[in-house]
Each structure stands twice: as structure tokens, then as C-alpha cells.
Amino acid sequence: MAVRAVRGAVQIDRDDVTELHEATAELVSAVMERNDFTIDDMISVIFTVTPDLTSDFPAHAARLMGFTDVPLMCSTEIPVPGALPRVIRLMAHVETDKARAQIQHVYLRGAAALRRDIAQ
């Protein structure tokens, strides 16, 4: 069993608790489904948000989804001028038999612009 990292991001329309929770759930669910992961596969998840998102922690949304025993952490992205606004990112560390090339990274909504090379 190997440890792999999977990345993902989603952009939201406005800084709102409900929208942040829904988008985080959409992102986490897509990462899990596309890679056939379960919560038991998860080692940890690091969430980041752009500085314009302050309504809640994405980790709180993940806890509401059942990620109660997975270490979660949130941070703020550096405020680079011209960067895509209102973005929630994640990097999850998982235990899996998948090769690195088999990992499906997930970029949703406007965040697909961040990684057009791998966004689905």
C-alpha cells in the first residue's frame, strides 16, 4: 500500500457559509468518487482558501460529511495579484494501491482554469 496525494479545487460565486459547505462537499465527494476512495483510505486533508473566503472553514464542511477521524487543516493561500478569486483547494493524502499516474485530480467549476491540463 502506497501513500499518494490527490489535489483538487473548486471556485464559488460568493463568500457564504452554505455555498462554501456545498462546494467543499462537492469537491470532496468528487475526489472520493473519481478515485474510488473511502474515508478509511484518507490519512489527512489540507484545505486552503483564497483570502476573500472567511465565512467558514472547509474542514468544518468535511466534518459534517463524516470526516470525524481524519486529521484536517485549513490555511489561507498567499494573496497573489490577479489570482483566481473565491477558490477552495485541497490536498488529500491517502493510502492506496493506485499508481501515481492513476490518481484523478479534480478541478471543478471556475477552478478548472487552474489546471486545464488535468481538469475533468
pLDDT one-digit tens code per residue, 70-80: 999 999 999 99
The reply to whether 109 belongs to the active site is no
| Banded model confidence at residue 118, pLDDT cuts 50, 70, 90 | low
Average pLDDT of the residues in 21-25 = 98
Residue written as grid cell 491540463: 117
Q: Where are the alpha helices (DSSP H) in the chain?
A: 17-35, 58-64
| Banded model confidence at residue 1, pLDDT cuts 50, 70, 90 | confident
Give the pairing type, strands 87-96 and 2-11.
antiparallel
Nearest to 115 by CA among 89, 95, 82: 89
Q: What percent of the chain has pLDDT over 90?
A: 89
Cell numbers standing for residue 2: 502506497
The reply to whether 107 belongs to the active site is yes
The reply to whether 63 belongs to the active site is yes
Specify the pLDDT at position 109: 86
7, 22, 34, 109: the catalytic one is 7
The reply to whether 86 belongs to the active site is no
Q: Is 79 left (phi over 0), alpha (psi -120 to 50) or beta?
A: beta
The reply to whether 116 belongs to the active site is no
Superfamily of domain 2-115: RutC-like (3.30.1330.40)
pLDDT one-digit tens code per residue, 34-90: 999 999 999 999 999 999 999 999 999 999 999 999 999 999 999 999 999 999 999
Residue written as grid cell 475533468: 120
14, 33, 63, 95: the catalytic one is 63
4, 26, 86, 107: the catalytic one is 107
Output 1 or 95, whichever has higher pLDDT.
Answer: 95
Specify the pLDDT at position 111: 87
